[in-house]
Chain A
Amino acid sequence: MANLPFVVVGLLFLMGLIAIIAENNLFKIAIGVGVMESAANMFLVVLGYRLKGDIPVKFLPGPVDVYVLPTPQALTLTAIVIALATSALMLSLIVMLYRHYGTLDVREIRRLRG
């Protein structure tokens, strides 16, 4: 059972990737990218947790001998901020694409060929 979170992470990542490849609507593609980003963040969080571990502040948690190292959480925070910036930019690009092409279908947005 300890590996269950990793299975979920793997499934989420694959779902995001499949959405990016298979979907035709720009917003659904953006959601796929978001799902992939969440999967990667969840991977880091799950990776950093130790079973029955507690926060690494010596005088707070009481008698425990397993502490959770805070580095993965720090990485996740950074990755979330970056993901926020890219999602905002991606949505604004989608708005501009819609204004230029009048459609959200990727099959009709292909002037750059060959």
Chain B
Amino acid sequence: MSWSVHLPALMLAVPLFGAFSTPIVALGGRRARMIWSVLISSVLLVLSFCLLQYVATEGTAVYVMGGKAWNLTLPSGMAYPVRIILEVDSFNSFIAVIGCFASLAGVLFGLRFLDRFSGKIWYSALYFLLTAGMLGLILTGDLFNFFVFLEIASVSSFGLIAYWRDRPESIEASFKYMLVSQIAAMMVLLAIGFLYGRYNLLNMAAVGKVIQFGLAEKVALVFMITALAMKCGAFPMHMWMPDAYAEAPASVTVLLVVVSQASLVGLCRIVFSVFGSAIVGDVVPWALITLGMMSMFFGVSMAVVQHEVKRLMGYHSVSQVGYMLMAFGVGLLAMGDPRQMADFGMTSMKGGIFHMVNYVTYKGLLFLVAGALYYVTGTRDLDKMGGLAKRMPFTTFMFVIAAAAISGIPPFNGFVSKLLIYESSFAVHPALSVVALVTSILTLASFVKVFQTAFLGPEKKEFSKVKEVPASMVLGMAVLTVVILGLSLFPTWVVSHLVEPAATALVDKGAYIGAVLGGGI
């Protein structure tokens, strides 16, 4: 038995240890705190790669918390699992790796970005707590544990959004986010209650094994989808997203992007692994597709008119989440029919998962670029910026890559995932891909506007002394740029070795259940 069986637990233990040890290490001075936080997040990244490797070779990893042995899912002849179980398959291990990349980028960027402000010790502690919550959301295999990690992630992000507590806007954004996520969390708790009352089970795999599609389950599913769509910023409840993303420090926004994707991972788990083929009828998939289409269109149309660079990107997040919701809706629509599944369902799932990963990388990078602009100019208003390309060559270069990726311009990774989504949604109805294409064009238009106003044009007098941002901030942005370029240069390899196993693991409900229960129940 090698140490690698404990990887799922280590993925949670390391950031939690980081969160509570940082204030102690920080007694050793500013330098010690910086080195410590980079060390923790680098170790986390290495661990996530080990986990990806472990899952790829050994199959789904299951870890029982607090049991006599790490793999004792059904202790002493019990018919169902009673302990908290982490379950990691190709899908969540892949997302976890990207989450760890984003976390490392945020840590590196935050080192100098927040140097001028106080309260950095608590910032670092909350940052790692948020990372732990995010990874817990992604890796857990237990419904109630999911709720607990949702709240850990929410509570730490309230604190981080309100980091600049002398600014009224940040407190307001934090309060708004708090209301939305508390309502969402209570809905999740009610849904868990409905499922528990019906089956006496909290383990996702065990619930998935016995689930029927009765009234209580329908109510639970509606509560879950509503709550998690709120948390990932889908259309009717998206208004917290631009506020929170714009007002949080840029290094935190990167992590908030990942947390919203972690909620989406939870949504996929509930819809595909717990309910899956038990969902009868076309209502649920069409609801997801409609939510997705509305988020895409309204998000981007609000983004085009923005003048503040981080709010503009925040509205783009709404429209990007729409792509994934639509892709998963199309995948769910095809689920009942094996022929449709082979025709376009799998393509759609692959597109959705790949877009999720791409979104985290390029959106994170865009927010970091916005943070860099704010760092040197002291403003987020696009109308006041201009001619920064000559002054900040590295930042400009990375902005161009991220903007090309989000607009879906060919060799970049955003193009590949968008193409997969267009292809598959066209098979359902041409209107879906038309909306997606129009959204893509408007995205390109608004990022051309940002590039034009902030980086090109005549140099402004007040920015004549502006220099490139410090090295650690460039390094933070470079981490995500390297990931984007890696995903862009080897699309075939990435799709066949990372995305396809992830999509297969997500739609294969039987394998997810079998990993925990074996022959039980």
Q: Contact residues of A with B, CB < 8 Å?
A: 13, 17, 20, 26, 29, 33, 36-37, 39-40, 43-44, 47, 69, 71-72, 75, 78-79, 82, 85-86, 89-90, 93-94, 96-97, 100-101, 109-112, 114
B218 CB contacts on chain A under 8 angstroms: none
Stretch from B5-13, B109-117, B155-163, B513-521 that touches the partner: B155-163
B165 CB contacts on chain A under 8 angstroms: 96
Given the known inter-chain contacts A86-B155, A112-B169, A112-B172, please indicate yes or no for A17 contacting B183, CB distance below 8 A.
Answer: yes
A44 CB contacts on chain B under 8 angstroms: 189, 193, 196
A89 CB contacts on chain B under 8 angstroms: 155, 158-159, 178
CA distance A112 to B244 in the complex (A): 10
Taking the nearest CB of chain B, how far is it from the CB of A94, in angstroms? 7
CA distance A26 to B179 in the complex (A): 11
By the criterion CB–CB under 8 Å, are B190 and A82 in contact? no
CA distance A87 to B151 in the complex (A): 12
Most interface-central of B174, B182, B243 (chain A CB within 10 A): B182
CA distance A94 to B148 in the complex (A): 24
Which of B169, B174, B190, B200 is the one whose CB lies under 8 Å from A93?
B174
Most interface-central of B144, B159, B176 (chain A CB within 10 A): B144
Given the known inter-chain contacts A36-B186, A69-B200, A112-B243, please indicate yes or no for A100 contacting B179, CB distance below 8 A.
Answer: no
Which of B155, B175, B189 is the one whose CB lies under 8 Å from A79?
B189
By the criterion CB–CB under 8 Å, are B190 and A13 in contact? yes
The interface on chain B, measured as residues whose beta carbon lies within 8 A of the other chain's beta carbons, has a size of: 36
B175 CB contacts on chain A under 8 angstroms: 26, 90, 93-94, 97
CA distance A86 to B189 in the complex (A): 15
B-side interface mostly: helix
Inter-chain pairs besides A33-B182, A112-B243, 17 sampled, C-beta below 8 Å: A26-B175, A40-B190, A44-B189, A47-B193, A71-B202, A72-B193, A78-B144, A86-B151, A90-B175, A93-B174, A94-B175, A96-B171, A97-B168, A97-B175, A109-B172, A112-B176, A112-B247
By the criterion CB–CB under 8 Å, are A36 and B182 in contact? yes
Taking the nearest CB of chain A, how far is it from the CB of B232, in angstroms? 20
B173 CB contacts on chain A under 8 angstroms: 112
Taking the nearest CB of chain B, how far is it from the CB of A17, in angstroms? 7
Which of A43, A90, A100, A112 is the one whose CB lies under 8 Å from B178?
A90
Q: B59 in the interface, Cβ–Cβ < 8 Å?
A: no
Q: B457 in the interface, Cβ–Cβ < 8 Å?
A: no
A93 CB contacts on chain B under 8 angstroms: 158, 162, 171, 174-175, 178
Q: B470 in the interface, Cβ–Cβ < 8 Å?
A: no
Question: Between A and B, how many residue pairs show CB distances below 8 Å?
Answer: 91
Q: B75 in the interface, Cβ–Cβ < 8 Å?
A: no
CA distance A6 to B202 in the complex (A): 21
CA distance A111 to B183 in the complex (A): 23
Q: B486 in the interface, Cβ–Cβ < 8 Å?
A: no
By the criterion CB–CB under 8 Å, are A82 and B148 in contact? yes
Taking the nearest CB of chain A, how far is it from the CB of B348, in angstroms? 34
B179 CB contacts on chain A under 8 angstroms: 20, 29, 33
Which of A29, A36, A75, A90 is the one whose CB lies under 8 Å from B144?
A75
Question: Quick one: closest B residue to A47, CB to CB?
Answer: B197
A13 CB contacts on chain B under 8 angstroms: 186, 190
B193 CB contacts on chain A under 8 angstroms: 40, 43-44, 47, 72
By the criterion CB–CB under 8 Å, are B162 and A96 in contact? yes
Question: Quick one: closest B residue to A87, CB to CB?
Answer: B182
Question: Quick one: closest B residue to A95, CB to CB?
Answer: B171
CA distance A69 to B171 in the complex (A): 42
A-B contact pairs, 29 of them (CB 8 A): A13-B190, A20-B183, A29-B179, A33-B182, A36-B182, A37-B186, A40-B186, A40-B190, A43-B190, A43-B193, A47-B196, A47-B197, A71-B200, A71-B202, A72-B193, A75-B192, A75-B196, A82-B151, A86-B151, A86-B158, A86-B182, A90-B175, A93-B171, A93-B178, A97-B168, A100-B171, A111-B169, A112-B246, A112-B247
